[in-house]
């Protein structure tokens, strides 16, 4: 399986997991909201029924004397209701409609029972085939033959004598029961609407989750893919860098084996070539190990100590002065009188600056100039290496710190570089909590700036 197929499959699996997790979250959230809305409307509906039942209960109880016949009392109080055994008036007047305090007669119905549970009166709009036997449960949910549901509430009615304290201990003072119910047709319609909304929008939301999951998985996989590509490129570059000196070394060894022992001078020359190639391989491997240790923070910050940058820049300028003179380049150092200290590893800082000076000298033509300066501001030390060399194209400036990357591979081969100098410089600066930047123009030179946090600055 090639790398593209591997990453595509990984992205698909990651997107699938994103979609599954988000789908579960959306499902639970949607169901939770649906249940919360339904429960809220159900609770509001029951409160409304209880409120109407309480109003009727408080209005009717004082009008219910025990001494009179129940049917006569009901006809006087509820001219709208149908009394059991009598003809029902299905067209009450406006005044009669409001006698019981309910204007929406299509939604609510009333039933009255005596204290023995016998049905006395009922609303004409009560559900069909409703049993005449009393169910004393406070709340009931009924379903009519045509499928319409009803919610019913039962409350006890006491006679006026019970309120006046007459025979209050006698259970017969309980006049009967009041049942008030309402149709759940509108409630069920709204619940159906909620269900249809969920059924319609949930697949759309899942589709959006799937598309966004694929996009997010691509974003998540992008750094991994780029890292893999860099690692792949690094492996290829390392193999190429190692293969060239190894091939040269093996060719030299084979030539030595063919030379007669009578030519010791030729053998000595070829052995020197073998030694040179071996050292190049050794230096390359050492640089790779050093760069790896820096990128993995293998060097403990506990080994850091105060380092004087003034002395470090001065020593490097003296060391590279002979190389610069040989290349006909004017090497200048600008060091302030006050000492500037940073907390770090002195050999690593030495290598950091020396790599920049070496590059500046190698890429600056004859009669050019390289200026190394040191300044400090706001507890930050700045080391700049400015040259009048060939410069770096703007399109290449972002990649010059990559391992084995060369702007001009032919020139770098000639000077013996491996393309690790700037990568090591950046790794050292990051290891010291600093940074390195570059500004360059073709044909005018480059300016490399090292930023390091300083721990003290003594003014001269």
Task: Render each residue's pLDDT in the chain as its tens digit; 460 residues.
Answer: 567 788 888 888 988 998 899 889 988 998 999 999 999 999 999 999 999 888 888 877 777 766 556 666 666 777 777 888 777 766 555 444 444 445 456 788 888 888 888 888 888 888 877 777 888 888 999 888 888 899 999 999 887 655 555 444 444 457 888 899 999 999 999 999 988 988 888 889 888 888 998 898 888 888 888 777 777 776 776 676 677 777 777 887 777 777 776 667 777 777 777 777 787 777 777 777 777 777 666 555 567 888 999 999 999 999 999 989 998 899 999 998 888 999 888 888 999 999 999 989 988 998 899 999 999 888 899 999 999 988 888 888 877 887 776 665 544 444 455 677 888 888 889 888 899 999 988 888 999 999 999 886 665 5
Task: Report which of 78, 182, 192 is spatially closest to residue 139, judged by C-alpha positions.
Answer: 182
Residues 153 and 422: their CA atoms lie apart, in Å, by 85
Buried b (16+ CB within 10 A) or exposed e, 182-206: bbbeebeeebeebeeebeeeeeeee
Q: Is the dihedral of CA 302, 305, 309, 315 positive or negative?
A: negative
Residues 401 and 436: their CA atoms lie apart, in Å, by 10
SS3 content of the chain, % helix, strand, coil (to 5): 55, 20, 25
Residues 233 and 405: their CA atoms lie apart, in Å, by 10
Structure tokens at 207: 């589709």
Residues 389 and 411: their CA atoms lie apart, in Å, by 13
First to last CA, the chain: 65
Contact indicator for 340, 454 with CB cutoff of 8 Å: yes
Q: Which residue has the tokens 């000077």?
A: 415
Q: What is the pTM of this model?
A: 0.53
Give 79's contacts (C-beta < 8 A, 6+ positions apart). Answer: 89, 92, 96, 99
pLDDT of residue 119: 87
pLDDT of residue 169: 44
pLDDT of residue 349: 92
Contact indicator for 112, 122 with CB cutoff of 8 Å: yes
Contact indicator for 365, 326 with CB cutoff of 8 Å: no
Work out the burial of residue 149: count CB atoms within 10 Å of its CB; fewer than 13 is exposed, 13-18 middle, 19 or more buried.
middle
- Other beta carbons less than 10 A from residue 133's beta carbon: 9
pLDDT of residue 409: 52
Task: Report which of 336, 340, 334 is spatially closest to residue 317, judged by C-alpha positions.
Answer: 334
Q: Is the dihedral of CA 409, 410, 411, 415 positive or negative?
A: positive
Here the contacts of 375-378 (C-beta below 8 Å, separation 24 or greater) are 375/336, 376/336, 376/338, 376/340, 376/454, 376/457
Contact indicator for 352, 450 with CB cutoff of 8 Å: yes
pLDDT of residue 222: 85
């Amino acid at each position: 399986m090639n790398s593209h197929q591997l990453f595509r499959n990984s992205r698909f699996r990651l997107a699938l997991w994103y979609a599954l997790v988000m789908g579960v979250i959306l499902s639970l959230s949607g169901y939770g909201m649906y249940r919360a809305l339904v429960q809220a409307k159900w609770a509001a509906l029951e409160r409304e029924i209880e409120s109407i039942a309480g109003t009727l209960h408080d209005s009717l109880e004082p009008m219910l004397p025990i001494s009179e016949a129940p049917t006569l009392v009901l006809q006087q109080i509820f001219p709208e209701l149908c009394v059991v055994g009598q003809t029902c008036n299905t067209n009450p007047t406006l005044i009669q409609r409001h006698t019981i305090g309910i204007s929406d007669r299509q939604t609510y119905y009333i039933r009255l029972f005596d204290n023995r549970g016998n049905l006395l009166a009922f609303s004409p709009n009560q559900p069909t085939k409703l049993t005449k036997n009393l169910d004393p449960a406070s709340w009931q949910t009924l379903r009519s033959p045509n499928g319409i549901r009803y919610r019913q509430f039962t409350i006890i009615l006491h006679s006026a004598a019970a309120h006046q304290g007459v025979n209050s201990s006698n259970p017969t003072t309980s006049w009967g029961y009041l049942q008030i119910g309402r149709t759940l047709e509108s409630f069920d319609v709204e619940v159906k609407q909620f269900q249809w909304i969920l059924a319609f929008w949930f697949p759309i939301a899942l589709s959006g989750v799937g598309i966004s999951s694929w996009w997010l998985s691509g974003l998540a996989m992008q750094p991994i893919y780029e890292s893999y590509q860099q690692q792949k490129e690094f492996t290829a570059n390392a193999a190429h860098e190692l293969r060239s000196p190894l091939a040269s070394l093996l060719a030299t060894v084979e030539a030595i084996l063919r030379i007669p022992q009578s030519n010791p001078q030729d053998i000595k020359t070829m052995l020197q070539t073998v030694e040179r190639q071996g050292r190049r391989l050794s230096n390359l491997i050492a640089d790779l190990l050093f760069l790896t240790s820096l990128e993995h923070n293998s060097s403990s910050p506990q080994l850091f100590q105060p380092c004087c940058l003034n002395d470090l820049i001065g020593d490097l300028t003296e060391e590279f002065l002979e190389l610069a003179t040989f290349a006909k380049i004017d090497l200048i150092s600008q060091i302030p009188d006050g000492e500037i200290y940073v907390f770090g590893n002195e050999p690593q800082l030495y290598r950091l600056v020396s790599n920049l000076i070496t590059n500046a000298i190698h890429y600056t033509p004859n009669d050019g100039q390289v200026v190394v300066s040191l300044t400090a501001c706001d507890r930050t030390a700045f080391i700049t290496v400015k040259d009048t060399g060939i410069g770096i194209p703007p399109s290449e400036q972002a990649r010059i710190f990559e391992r084995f990357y060369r702007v001009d591979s032919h020139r770098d081969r000639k000077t013996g570089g491996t393309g690790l100098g700037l990568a090591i410089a950046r790794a050292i600066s990051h290891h010291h909590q600093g940074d390195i930047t570059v500004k360059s123009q073709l044909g005018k030179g480059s300016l490399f700036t090292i930023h390091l946090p300083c721990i003290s600055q003594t003014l001269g």
